[in-house]
Structure 1
Amino acid sequence: MLLPACSTVSVNKQASSKTISAQRGNIVTSNKLSSDTASTLLSAGLNDQACMQHFDLCLAQLTDSMLNKHYRSALAILSELHYAKAKQLAKSQDCSDALARPPIDPYYANAALSETQTDKQRQNTSACLTSYQARLFDAIKSSYTYLFYDRLEHDFEGAEAAKSSQPNRIPTDLDIQTQDIYNAASNDVLTQLYESTDNAHKLLGDTANIKVSYLPTLKALDDSNEAAIANSSPLQGEPTDQIKVMKMQVDNYNLDIYLPNENNYLQNAHKQASALADLVSTYDLRLSGLNSISKRPGLGISLVASLDNRYTTTIRQLLVSSLSGKLSKAASNGSMDDSEMSARIYPTGHLLMTGLIIPTGDSVLDVLSSEQLDIHLYNPYRSESVTILGDNYPLTANFSAGYGLWLAENQLDGVGYLNLLTRRQEASLPKLFMLEPYDPNKRVLIMIHGLASSPATWVNLTNDIFNDDKLRDNYQVWQIFYPTNLPILENRYQIQKLLTATYEQTDPGGQNRASKNSVIISHSMGAIIARMMLSDDNLTKNLDALEDRNIFSNDKRQIDTMLKQAFGEEELGMRFKLRTLPQVDTAVFLSAPFQGTDYADRWFTRAIRRVIYLPLSIVKTVTDNLATIATQGDLAQNPLGALYLQNGASQLSDKSSFIQLTKNIAINNRITYHSIIANNDSDITQGLAQLQPNGAKIDLSQAAPEENNRNSATSSNHNAADMTALPNEPLVSSVTVNEDISQALTERLSDGIVPYTSAHLDGAASETVISGGHSIQANPQTILTLRRILHTQLQQPLP
């Protein structure tokens, strides 16, 4: 009867996923100790909770139980225990008091403590945080030695012989668990170094006076009054070199902070030494709304550093400026003030960094006893790897994080619509956003959105470029944000001025790779603007021809004369005489209404056009008398008036003076251009695919209906060769076409807004028809086509 009672082992089946999860889980992933660490504690007769309560005594007994002190896995176990203790301390009342908010009402339960109580709490909190930091540092040192001192050959006699006799290791679950601990502990140290309970005083904002509740014993050793983490100018050497910019002390530990040897990091256009307003770890971010997350696996912690004076734009800001009734300088003096061009060039305010903490020491024992930690912050665009103890390791990166934060912070979609519809006193001029720090060795990819849109329209394309190693390493993205209610000629002029100023500001001599072989990708109205920036036509000649086709009354001729006098011949010349951007050699046009569209004349579109206002400063540019004429609608019949005082949406009509003026302009011969055209009729796309089968791509973006699959699976003859048993033929998602296509097909082809006959351009290097509506910029087939074009451009020989 006693024998069955002694048997406590049973065997049950469980899902393999549970087995793997149990084997690979640890204190970081499951909030429980790993099976290896738990087993080691049990073997030593130690309870995990008792071990946390009497931590130092537990470590001493555990060390005594490990008979082989040089056994490598002991370091992994110790690192997990140190991190488990740090997590326990972080949740304790004494440590959490450091984050307590000020009392709301002194007469209630959260009233301020007495002086004695406050002093006691301060002592408890200081002791708790001191222990917490020590446990994090110990976790880093133990996991670091486990990961990088392979087989501990640096510390015991006969190590070299042991090394030669052992086979090469493959990564184990313990390796992955220990790397998780190294990353998690490093993440906690890095992010807390930049936190403060007082949001008005960011840590590291002033090295002469640092007060941080998280680190009460923290003090700066650098007496400089400049921003502690901003390197004002690079030193001699490579941009990938690391330079020490700050020295800190945390209890008995010395922390040296290193930054990349380049002046593009921790600086922006308005200050030459701007400090970080925030440092966020991607461990703490959940990015949603992106089609994928672009990552590079490797060592370290991916961080996003936000500059303190970065530009932001929100719907609320736009509404406030629209309702304030205050005239800007541009409106008050009767002209658009574009003298502050550099103020509309925005380097990225969210810098990507990869943080790595490296304890100093020449051996395992040196590292474990070291009180010197070096904190390295790398530019992940330039530094792809790091050398540790003579071996090269990849550095981790999250290339979507900064982009995601920028999009979330700026509400660009809503601002794009309000820029079109909101009546404003001042003219909102185009802006240029760099999505990464300027790199002189990368080609520039310029993106120009369409009507009532914003740079947010490019989210999937931009993210897929970040996710493509080849494209990410060779292209940097500049996105244009412009008010689509402005006359298109004015937008073209202002955008081209802005791009020219940006190239001159970043590379005055024009010698960098970034000043050559640039690419413009543009959609809808943006494509019309882009084509004008790639032409050398003189539109004033076309304007004369346009005027000759109209019979003017005396009043209308008077308006024409007044307009020319108001603008002046020189001003008109800058708007009407086109010049090709010298830095660009490739363009891609998406859903471009080069010949206009009748969609702009349909009743519901006309209703929208009535509420699209020109900024009043544009109207005042002509004179107050012409502003009165504009409100009466008399300018609609005047070619020059329609070109310059008609909003952008109205000018997309195939009957507008603007389309008549620009529809036949020629693109410079040195420009290679591609057209991507949408078609919302799947039957027509199928017809194109039959004519040009080699260019067709089958649509596998959606699975066949379950009913089709079931019918196929239960077919009576079960013959795999019987085609009738297969689901219906899938649709065609895109077709790359040549000029040998049926005119009958192209006349019917349209995206619902822009017909093929308007979007087609003779002489295009390629023309691709995508199944879908007008907004194809987010279509996976569009993005894939664009990526192919960019890869092809990279294969071309350099000039």
Structure 2
Amino acid sequence: MRFLRPCFLVAWMAIAPLLLGGCSILSEFGPVVQIHTLTAEEAIELKRSDILTRGKLSDATTQTIRVAALDAQACAKPVSANCVEALVEVKGVATDRRLAALSELWLAQAQAMKPGSEQQAAWFETIRYAYAYLFLGDHTPGERAFEDRQTQVRDWYNYAVERAATAMFEFGQQTATQLPPQPQRNIAGWELHVDMRSARLPGSTAVPAELLPASSLSFRGLRSLYRRDGFGAELVAVMPDEPLTTAATRDGRPAVKRNQQPLPWSEMPAPSMTVLLHPDGDDLDSVLQTRTVRLTVHDPYVESAIMMRGQRVPLAANFTAGYGVWLARAKFKRQSLRSLLGREGGIDRPHVYLMQPYDPNRRVIVMLHGLASSPEAWVELANEILGDELLRQHYQLWQVYYPTNMPIALNHAMIRRTLKDTLAHFDPSGQSPASSDLVLVGHSMGGVIARLMVSSTDQSLVQLARDRGRLTLKQIERIAPMLSFEPFPHVSRAIFIAAPHRGTSVAGGCLGRWMAGFIHFPVTVLEELAHTLVPNAAASSHQSLGYIPNSVDNLDENDPFLRAAAGFPISTQVRYHSIVAQANPDVALVDSDDGLVPYRSSHLPGAQSEKVIISGHSVQQNASAILEIQRILKEDMTQQKEPLNSAVR
């Protein structure tokens, strides 16, 4: 026995290394597969995080690398292309899995590169493999509709297109070959074909000053960002600045060239667009071999989807970014104050801004801001309408920007003419839906002007001009548009918001009189008015015009013009609504006000509806007011062909 024991130990020492080296069970003394419980946060991150969200390859791509027998650590280093080349050649990995992983690997390489032709080529490769996965893989996009992986690959495609398009634009600026380039050119060894047929850029030039990725923009001052998920890069084309006609400079000359009459309208100079890059090829093999790509530009207000490889694909869109960029850069606040005071740099006539390229098939909402204001007054309402898919399909927004120092009668006449000229320009025949059934939305003094636009005059203004203005019959004839008018054609609905139809005591009080004392009219306006009254008079004849009531004077509850206008009948063809602000809910409604306008002034008998909102005077920004306007607009869509209903009090 003593002899056997040493032999046993020797035998065990010889066999043990073999057993322990060849059997993991004996080495680890536990199961091969172990369980680790993830939190919900960890589980979602594991499924959805990728090279864009955390700067590391997605878990799905890492798994594909392992299945392909490649070194996961080496592949995680984007500076090397060995992993990409190896994965292209590997056999036995499902097509969808390989294409998606290659797209992310190329994206990682592109992000690690410096701007230049190599990076541009890497963007194109990212696009190639993402495009192949989405449309030429083992499954259709519809079959993968709920898959996180498809969402990831779509995001990689969209991001790569965004970076490739903006890089091409920046390169074009540096080399004086801005977009749109020649229909065909060579970039980073790829042949690029550009198709701008669906692009609609405002202004006198087809070349943007900037091309901004909407995904990189964040806005303060807007409650919501409205966009549509889909295929393509969301961009904002910032057009060259074309300033409005401004008030006279200190030397009395207009701020623009003499005899240069500017257009009374312009499209918002920061339109949104969606850009796609299509690798050439009829099947998967040809797409993976091609060095040709086609760039197409799309208007998200016109196209919500396109056909791709026989499938209807929703287009990505951003409906807030362009609007936000325009407002952030327009400097309206300072200019509107200069306009009110009649200072250099203000405006001296109305201007119509189209919030999107003109569409003959969408009805027009005309928005009129109030005293000392500008299109900024509509920032929330306009954004909500642009972001509402149903309203966006049926309406287009026009914002009237006008000098709020002018007498209401003069502003009203000029705004009428400006709208008429704008409609005539876009629809000379007047037959398109856009020229019919207009909707007017006016806040404060803009609401007073909107009411005049749907009203008919009697002889009271003519008599007032005779008695108080000491004008001759000849002179009265020359200013007839300010004194005699009928409802503006084709307006079917109006919304008056905190509008002082019967004036306010604030305008006639100490504060109002003090404020009115600072208001002056531009020399150009005075000269034009003097020339209208006395055509052959000298240029300096405006000095003999005497005192002309300004806008603050007109808002006084005792102003003769406003008292007369309050009695003008509103067209029976117009449905109208009132939104009234009540600053103190503890005060009886009939005795209340919004801090500036009393209820008895903003209330209009015969309104289709009247919504009272607890708010100050700037109620047009109130969420409840915006919801009410949206309700009215949607109701309007269903009532267009119905007869006028009885008023709802």
Task: Calculate the TM-score normalised by the size of structure 1.
Answer: 0.71
1:770 is matched with 613
Closer/same/farther in 2, CA of residues 7 and 322 from structure 1, 3 Å limit: farther
Secondary structure of the residue aligned to 1:649 is helix
1:493 is matched with 413
1:378 is matched with 298
| 1:436 to partner: Cα distance | 0.5
Gaps spanning 5+ residues in structure 1: where?
96-128, 154-162, 208-221, 223-245, 551-559, 636-644, 685-744
Measure, in 1, the Cα distance between the counterparts of 2:524 and 2:124: 60
- Cα deviations across residues 716-753 of structure 1 (Å, max 9, x unaligned)? xxxxxxxxxxxxxxxxxxxxxxxxxxxxx443122121
Alignment map for 1:108-507 (pairs within 5 Å): 129-151=116-138, 169=144, 171-196=146-171, 201=176, 203-204=178-179, 207=181, 222=182, 246-261=183-198, 265-268=200-203, 271=204, 274-308=206-240, 310-312=241-243, 324-328=250-254, 340=261, 343-424=263-344, 428-507=348-427
- Cα deviations across residues 188-235 of structure 1 (Å, max 9, x unaligned)? 111111113866936236x5xxxxxxxxxxxxxx4xxxxxxxxxxxxx
2:8 is matched with none
Query: Do structure 1's residue 612 and structure 2's residue 519 form an aligned pair?
Result: yes
2:3 is matched with none
| 1:54 to partner: Cα distance | 7.0
1:696 is matched with none
Match of 1:544 among 455, 463, 467: 463
Measure, in 1, the Cα distance between the counterparts of 2:198 and 2:50: 37
Secondary structure of the residue aligned to 1:196 is helix
Measure, in 2, the Cα distance between the counterparts of 1:140 and 1:424: 51
Match of 2:92 among 68, 88, 98: 68
Measure, in 1, the Cα distance between the counterparts of 2:100 and 2:345: 65
Match of 2:83 among 45, 49, 58: 58
Secondary structure of the residue aligned to 2:629 is helix
Q: Which amino acid aligns with 1:86?
A: A
The aligned length equals 608
| 1:354 to partner: Cα distance | 1.0
Q: Which amino acid aligns with 1:502?
A: T
| 1:63 to partner: Cα distance | 4.7
Measure, in 1, the Cα distance between the counterparts of 2:144 and 2:481: 68
Closer/same/farther in 2, CA of residues 543 and 330 from structure 1, 3 Å limit: farther
Alignment map for 1:710-749 (pairs within 5 Å): 745-749=588-592
2:14 is matched with none
Closer/same/farther in 2, CA of residues 531 and 68 from structure 1, 3 Å limit: same
1:667 is matched with 570
1:627 is matched with 543
| 1:351 to partner: Cα distance | 2.3
Measure, in 2, the Cα distance between the counterparts of 1:798 and 1:248: 53
2:494 is matched with 587
Measure, in 2, the Cα distance between the counterparts of 1:50 and 1:384: 38
Give yes or no for contact 1:546–1:661 (8 Å, CA) kept in 2: no
Q: Which amino acid aligns with 1:248?
A: R
Measure, in 2, the Cα distance between the counterparts of 1:754 and 1:301: 46
| 1:379 to partner: Cα distance | 1.2
Closer/same/farther in 2, CA of residues 415 and 49 from structure 1, 3 Å limit: farther
Measure, in 2, the Cα distance between the counterparts of 1:681 and 1:75: 63
Give yes or no for contact 2:276–2:296 (8 Å, CA) kept in 1: yes
Query: Do structure 1's residue 755 and structure 2's residue 604 form an aligned pair?
Result: no
Q: Which amino acid aligns with 2:213?
A: S
Closer/same/farther in 2, CA of residues 53 and 74 from structure 1, 3 Å limit: closer
Query: Do structure 1's residue 600 and structure 2's residue 490 form an aligned pair?
Result: no
Measure, in 2, the Cα distance between the counterparts of 1:512 and 1:290: 33
Closer/same/farther in 2, CA of residues 193 and 488 from structure 1, 3 Å limit: same
2:51 is matched with 27
1:656 is matched with 559
Closer/same/farther in 2, CA of residues 546 and 84 from structure 1, 3 Å limit: closer
| 1:779 to partner: Cα distance | 0.7
RMSD (CA atoms): 3.1
Give yes or no for contact 1:679–1:769 (8 Å, CA) kept in 2: yes
Give yes or no for contact 1:677–1:767 (8 Å, CA) kept in 2: yes
Measure, in 2, the Cα distance between the counterparts of 1:69 and 1:42: 11
Closer/same/farther in 2, CA of residues 54 and 796 from structure 1, 3 Å limit: closer
Measure, in 2, the Cα distance between the counterparts of 1:584 and 1:786: 17
Measure, in 2, the Cα distance between the counterparts of 1:14 and 1:48: 23
| 1:150 to partner: Cα distance | 3.9
Give yes or no for contact 1:307–1:350 (8 Å, CA) kept in 2: yes
> Structure 1 stretch 376-385 or stretch 275-284: which is displaced more?
275-284
Measure, in 2, the Cα distance between the counterparts of 1:629 and 1:387: 64
Secondary structure of the residue aligned to 1:31 is coil
